[in-house]
Amino acid sequence: MNLQDVRIPIGDWVDAMVDWLTINLVWMFDGISDILGSLIDALETALQFPPALVTIAVLALIALFARNWKFSLFTALSFGLIVTMGQWEAAMSTLALVLVASILAVLLGVPLGIIAARNQAFSALLRPVLDFMQTMPSFVYLIPAIIFFGIGKVPGVVATIVFSMPPGARLTELGLRQVDAEVVEAGEAFGASPAKILTRVQIPLALPTIMAGINQVIMLALSMVVIAGIVGAGGLGAEVFRGVTRLNVGLGFEGGLSVVILAVFLDRVTGAFGSKASSRTSK
């Protein structure tokens, strides 16, 4: 028998599962869609409602607090460039999508990493799931997201959460496992409960590694949100996609440059907070 003649209908099984979920859990998907849609709209309005100069000033102050005046000046000039290119609303829409997706990915990933660090069996079960989530091509996540949530911003955010969550869980587990066992034993010797050891000893010592994971979550979320522009998520992803479909090099370059500016800002800010957390724990 030729092995090529044997076909395992995995795709058919997946289709059947998706159909069952769509029929029987439509109430859950509608609820998730309403909640995520409200969060995205609220944050997008908060970023776009003030004049652009006001928002730029706030972002520059964040950059000043996170790093120094040079980065603050770079932030003001680079976001001003986004305004002059006519990409401000699209950039703020993308920033809102990234922030919502990143916050939810962190809220899901960090607790999973904590549980995995404290339970070896759960860690062994979680690891292949995270491997699958990280190695699956990003476009594939858009297919079930569209089926469950339709076209728009919500499926883009859902796909982004799934795609960007693994680094948060992985690096949280890694950071907690790297905490010196003698420090944990000292806390136990003083009669501290497991919850206090976790919150007052392990997490503070693992915070630099956890912050590195959060940084990776944000970077992956930004890359996925741009791809999600294909399914109607809007923002800079839609601008880049429009430039590709129209063979408009200028429009595509302006959208891509705006994405780079957002990526540099988010990367430097989260990296700075991670460095500050590391310096505090080393004292």
Is residue 164 within 8 A of residue 48, CB to CB? The reply is no
- Report pLDDT for 200: 82
Cα torsion 147, 151, 156, 157: sign: negative
Q: Where are the domains of the chain?
A: 10-49+85-282
Beta strand segments in the chain, E? none
Is residue 167 within 8 A of residue 223, CB to CB? The reply is no
Query: Residue ranges of the chain with pLDDT lower than 70?
Result: 1-6, 274-283
Tell which residue, 66, 60, 69, 125, has the closest CA to residue 261. Answer: 60
What is the C-alpha separation between 135 and 128, in angstroms, rounded?
10
- Report pLDDT for 224: 83
Computed on alpha carbons and rounded to an integer, the radius of gyration of the chain in Å comes to 21
- Report pLDDT for 278: 58
Q: Which residue has the tokens 């979320």?
A: 221
Q: What is the pTM of this model?
A: 0.85
Say which DSSP state 122 is in. Answer: H
- Report pLDDT for 87: 87
If DSSP codes are grouped into helix, strand and coil, which group holds residue 67?
A: coil
What is the C-alpha separation between 73 and 141, in angstroms, rounded?
38
- Tokens found for residue 178: 């790297």
What is the C-alpha separation between 26 and 32, in angstroms, rounded?
10
Q: Which residue has the tokens 């066992």?
A: 181
Q: What is the pLDDT of residues 208-227, one digit of tens each?
A: 888 888 888 988 888 887 78
Tell me which architecture the domain covering 10-49+85-282 has in CATH. Orthogonal Bundle (1.10)
